[in-house]
Chains A and B, each alone.
Chain A
Amino acid sequence: MATTNPQTAKIPVWRDERILKWIAQIAFTVTIIFFAELIFSNMAEGLSQQGTKLGFSFLQGAAGFDIAETLIEFSRSSTYWQAFLVGLYNTLLVSIVGIIFSTILGVILGVARLSTNLLVRWLSAAYLELMRNLSLLVFLIFWYLGVFLKLPRVKEAIIWPGEIYLSNRGIVFPWGLPTETASTYRTILLVAVLAAAGVGFVLHQRGKRTGKSPLTLLWSFGVFALIALAGWFFLPTAPYMLEFPYVDGLRIAGGKTFTPEFMALASGLTLYTAAFIGEVVRAGIQAVSRGQVEAARAIGLNGFQTLRLVIFPQALQVIVPPLTSQYLNLTKNSSLAIAVGYADLFYVSNTILNQSGRAVEMITLVMLTYLTFSLLTSLFMNWYNQRILLVER
């Protein structure tokens, strides 16, 4: 019944806002598609002129080069795809290590920044200002050329107590060498983790019901340690044998080596990102109103309890979204590994690109991988953020 509303009936099509909005959106989409098509066909034409075609089948070809640091089996006869996976795992390793340590350091820095102790506050502020105003690339190269490569040569390696070797070939720790019972022991560890989680869950539920603090963490850890220790001594031979590093000709053999490249990248990323996380944490804490702290003190909570039970649960909501960005930044910044020669995703892909000449494919693959990392991180952090949201009544 159009006649009931004469006003809308009169609006001509070219002035109808709803229709105009639709047209604008369609025009925008068409333009985007047109440009995408233009770029793509231009590239396809260029490639066909040189007689190359797009495709990912080349990834099954033999790589032919060696990689120094691998978490999986790799040799020169492995495929390009395996080389890519080596890079992928190395990126994950350095990102996870970086995220864990920069979060710990960042929280400490953020809290210290608001400390009542003048020295602590100033030290923290100085560190934050210094780091935030440095270029990460410069900082990484400083760590690599200026710190880790300045360590003595293998023959004059510094030996720290506990047989830790420091040389310009890396830092070598004594490491557990698995014996034949290691796989059984891993099963025992899994059982221990499950048991600890079970105990923790039960205690947590009871704590909620009774309102008493049941020392959940302590009990869980106790259960885990008990099972782990019992398993170690119960097995006929110890599951791991400690292997000490030793100088063998030109290298340091035995133990676990952290190369200068990995150390430079991990420490550079950690120290740099920690500064940003410190600022995020500070902002989060300051967003909690002063009255909350005073109320917490009034009911007799001490400083640490106030922080843990009152401030952090509220501050987290402010902290988590920008913290997510910092995690994403750290992961993406890890591609600066190429400057210090750490075999990360981008570095290995670059090598593959060179040796195979497949620029378009490799860059696409790298972009998609970083995109996937970032999206997964955001999804997880968004889920976490949703979970910690205060339920306001």
Chain B
Amino acid sequence: MNRKTTTLFALMVVIALVLGACGSPTPADSGDTAPIVETVVVTVEVPAAAPAPLPVPPAGYGVTLATVLERGVLICGVNSQVPGFGYIGADGSFSGFDVDYCRALAAAIFGDSTKVEFRAVTAAERFTALQSGEIDVLSRNTTWSTVRDTELGGNFVHTTFYDGQGMMVPTSLGATTLADLEGGTICVQTGTTTELNLADVMAAEGISYTPAVFEDADSTFAAYAEGRCDAVTTDKSGLISRRTVLANPAEHVIMDVTMSKEPLGPMVRHGDDQWFDIAQWTVFALISAEEFGITSANVADAKAAPASPEVSRLLGNEGDLGLKLGLSNDWAYNIIAQVGNYAEVYNRNLGPDTPTYIPRGLNSLYTDGGLLYAPPFR
């Protein structure tokens, strides 16, 4: 017994030492020390010249693309519980707006949109999965925020869906404003920005409430359906999508309040700027294709007879934009031919013919009064 106690104490001491060792050399603010240097853009500025002697690329540059190419398949972290964005169908196949982005990225890299493996990750585990390299890219209705862009070790690629946080209540409750929820219980999912926004907004408006917090979307909405809470909150797109799978959608109403800005988009790891560029320009290719009126149906014609020099550059007839990204020159052609443009992806998953219909609103081209605006391809 005595000896056992001694062993136990020895173990504790060892652990304490290890802990002390990794705790001590930490500066007060680790956010300032990120060694990311934006040097890559230089090559894009001088397209005609032969590749000048490049500065030494930062650690990690090009690693992800090399790994993905060697593996022969892209691993994409997606949602599996939100119809329209990321959902596993009855046959085990993934579908949704965020899922199609992964297909577009695979088409850009391999010229084959099927070379992608989907990993369903929860809100709670998504950043760890990205940090640890378990997934190459995270495309899971994730809100762009400062902490996530810095401390969580990731970079947001671009906003693919402009959203806002909403609140859903049973119609029978008769609540129309947040103040009607005074004293109520509100279901929310852990590890999300909505959890934080809820606390912010309710504190700002001086409404007292009790949070009921759950691990994933399924258990959050199951508890809501059981009446554990008076209201449930998440991004409006999520509410619209989840309402379709409630037992009786007509008995629930999404309140006319917007509690926050929720720009959703894909995210990649810090430290590999080439990969960041590929992920970003895949988004731009989708948006530009819609702007130029190129669809999966007419892309072959557009390539044969480009309407403008920029279309020509986009589809790889002219210049070497694809090569500069480390891809083949017909990367954008492959995206559009196999996955479609932004509008096609949107309508397939969230359009008027789907149960998860969300009006395009802010997610229209800037020419139609929306926020979608891609930089020029040159």
| B309 interfacial by beta-carbon distance below 8 Å | no
| B308 interfacial by beta-carbon distance below 8 Å | no
**Cβ-defined contact, B153 with A52, below 8 A:** yes
**Cβ-defined contact, B182 with A250, below 8 A:** yes
Task: Give the complex CA separation of A353 and B132 in angstroms.
Answer: 14
Most buried by B among A339, A357, A378: A357
Q: Specify which chain B residues have a CB less than 8 angstroms from the CB of A56 in the assembled complex.
A: 23, 26
**Cβ-defined contact, B223 with A341, below 8 A:** yes
Q: Specify which chain A residues have a CB less than 8 angstroms from the CB of B19 in the assembled complex.
A: 364, 368
Task: Give the complex CA separation of A55 and B23 in angstroms.
Answer: 5
| B123 interfacial by beta-carbon distance below 8 Å | yes
Binds B, one of A60-68, A218-226, A271-279, A288-296: A60-68
| B178 interfacial by beta-carbon distance below 8 Å | no
Q: Specify which chain B residues have a CB less than 8 angstroms from the CB of A145 in the assembled complex.
A: 222, 226
Task: Give the complex CA separation of A126 and B154 in angstroms.
Answer: 54
Task: Give the complex CA separation of A54 and B26 in angstroms.
Answer: 7
| A49 interfacial by beta-carbon distance below 8 Å | yes
Name which residue of chain A comes closest to B187, CB basis. A341
**A51 contacts which of B1, B35, B214, B223 (Cβ < 8 Å)?**
B35
Q: By DSSP majority rule, is chain A's interface helix, strand, loop, or mixed? A: helix
**B210 contacts which of A251, A338, A368 (Cβ < 8 Å)?**
A251
**Cβ-defined contact, A371 with B196, below 8 A:** no
Q: Specify which chain A residues have a CB less than 8 angstroms from the CB of B34 in the assembled complex.
A: 50-52
**B153 contacts which of A51, A66, A249, A368 (Cβ < 8 Å)?**
A51
Name which residue of chain B comes closest to A358, CB basis. B151
**Cβ-defined contact, A149 with B226, below 8 A:** yes
**Cβ-defined contact, A250 with B181, below 8 A:** yes
**Cβ-defined contact, B183 with A65, below 8 A:** no
| B8 interfacial by beta-carbon distance below 8 Å | yes
Interface size (A, Cβ < 8 Å)? 56
| B51 interfacial by beta-carbon distance below 8 Å | no
Task: Give the complex CA separation of A66 and B59 in angstroms.
Answer: 39
**Cβ-defined contact, A49 with B190, below 8 A:** no
Name which residue of chain A comes closest to B125, CB basis. A354
**A49 contacts which of B26, B59, B124, B192 (Cβ < 8 Å)?**
B59
Name which residue of chain A comes closest to B151, CB basis. A357
User: A208-237 vs B: 1/0 string, CB under 8 Å?
Assistant: 000000000000000000000000000000
**Cβ-defined contact, B36 with A341, below 8 A:** no
Interface size (B, Cβ < 8 Å)? 64
**B200 contacts which of A51, A76, A260, A379 (Cβ < 8 Å)?**
A76
Question: Smallest distance from the beta carbon of A152 to chain B beta carbons, Å?
Answer: 9
Contacts A49-B59, A56-B23, A351-B190 given; indicate if A64 touches B199 (C-beta within 8 A): yes
Q: Specify which chain A residues have a CB less than 8 angstroms from the CB of B219 in the assembled complex.
A: 339, 341
**A248 contacts which of B183, B190, B210 (Cβ < 8 Å)?**
B183
Contacts A54-B23, A55-B30, A350-B190 given; indicate if A168 touches B199 (C-beta within 8 A): no
Name which residue of chain B comes closest to A356, CB basis. B151
Q: Among residues 197 to 222 in chain B, which have CB atoms less than 8 Å away from a CB atom of chain A? A: 198-200, 202-203, 210-215, 219, 222
Q: Specify which chain A residues have a CB less than 8 angstroms from the CB of B22 in the assembled complex.
A: 40, 54
Task: Give the complex CA separation of A338 and B182 in angstroms.
Answer: 27
Q: Specify which chain A residues have a CB less than 8 angstroms from the CB of B195 in the assembled complex.
A: 65, 351, 355
Question: Smallest distance from the beta carbon of A390 to chain B beta carbons, Å?
Answer: 15
**Cβ-defined contact, A53 with B33, below 8 A:** yes
Task: Give the complex CA separation of A51 and B37 in angstroms.
Answer: 11
User: B1-38 vs A: 1/0 string, CB under 8 Å?
Assistant: 10011001000100100010011011110100111100
| B228 interfacial by beta-carbon distance below 8 Å | yes
| A282 interfacial by beta-carbon distance below 8 Å | no
| A359 interfacial by beta-carbon distance below 8 Å | yes
| A26 interfacial by beta-carbon distance below 8 Å | no
| A375 interfacial by beta-carbon distance below 8 Å | yes
| B162 interfacial by beta-carbon distance below 8 Å | no
Q: Specify which chain B residues have a CB less than 8 angstroms from the CB of A330 in the assembled complex.
A: none
Contacts A382-B4, A386-B1 given; indicate if A339 touches B215 (C-beta within 8 A): yes
User: A353-393 vs B: 1/0 string, CB under 8 Å?
Assistant: 11111010000100010011001001100100010000000
| A332 interfacial by beta-carbon distance below 8 Å | no
| B191 interfacial by beta-carbon distance below 8 Å | yes
**Cβ-defined contact, B30 with A66, below 8 A:** no
**Cβ-defined contact, B183 with A251, below 8 A:** yes
| B184 interfacial by beta-carbon distance below 8 Å | yes
Q: Specify which chain A residues have a CB less than 8 angstroms from the CB of B4 in the assembled complex.
A: 382
Question: Smallest distance from the beta carbon of A248 to chain B beta carbons, Å?
Answer: 6
**Cβ-defined contact, B185 with A169, below 8 A:** yes
Task: Give the complex CA separation of A54 and B25 in angstroms.
Answer: 8
**B184 contacts which of A168, A251, A351 (Cβ < 8 Å)?**
A251
Contacts A50-B269, A52-B151 given; indicate if A66 touches B199 (C-beta within 8 A): yes
Q: Specify which chain A residues have a CB less than 8 angstroms from the CB of B57 in the assembled complex.
A: none
Question: Smallest distance from the beta carbon of B154 to chain A beta carbons, Å?
Answer: 8
Q: Among residues 27 to 51 in chain A, which have CB atoms less than 8 Å away from a CB atom of chain B? A: 40, 46-51
9 closest residue pairs by CB, A with B = A55-B26, A51-B34, A354-B191, A50-B153, A357-B152, A250-B184, A76-B199, A50-B270, A149-B226
23 inter-chain pairs at a CB distance below 8 angstroms, sorted by A residue, are: A49-B59, A49-B269, A50-B34, A50-B269, A51-B33, A54-B22, A55-B30, A65-B213, A66-B202, A68-B213, A75-B203, A149-B223, A153-B227, A168-B227, A250-B185, A250-B230, A251-B183, A350-B215, A354-B123, A359-B127, A379-B5, A382-B1, A382-B5
Interface residues of B (CB under 8 A from A): 1, 4-5, 8, 12, 15, 19, 22-23, 25-28, 30, 33-36, 59-60, 123-124, 127-128, 131-133, 147-148, 151-154, 181-185, 190-192, 195-196, 198-200, 202-203, 210-215, 219, 222-223, 226-228, 230, 269-271
Interface residues of A (CB under 8 A from B): 40, 46-58, 64-68, 75-76, 145, 149-150, 153, 168-169, 248-251, 253, 260-261, 338-339, 341, 343, 347, 350-351, 353-357, 359, 364, 368, 371-372, 375, 378-379, 382, 386
With A64-B200, A251-B210 given, can you name 20 additional A-B contacts, CB distance below 8 Å? A51-B153, A52-B151, A68-B213, A149-B223, A149-B228, A168-B227, A169-B228, A249-B182, A250-B184, A253-B183, A339-B219, A351-B190, A351-B191, A353-B124, A356-B151, A357-B151, A357-B152, A359-B128, A372-B12, A382-B4
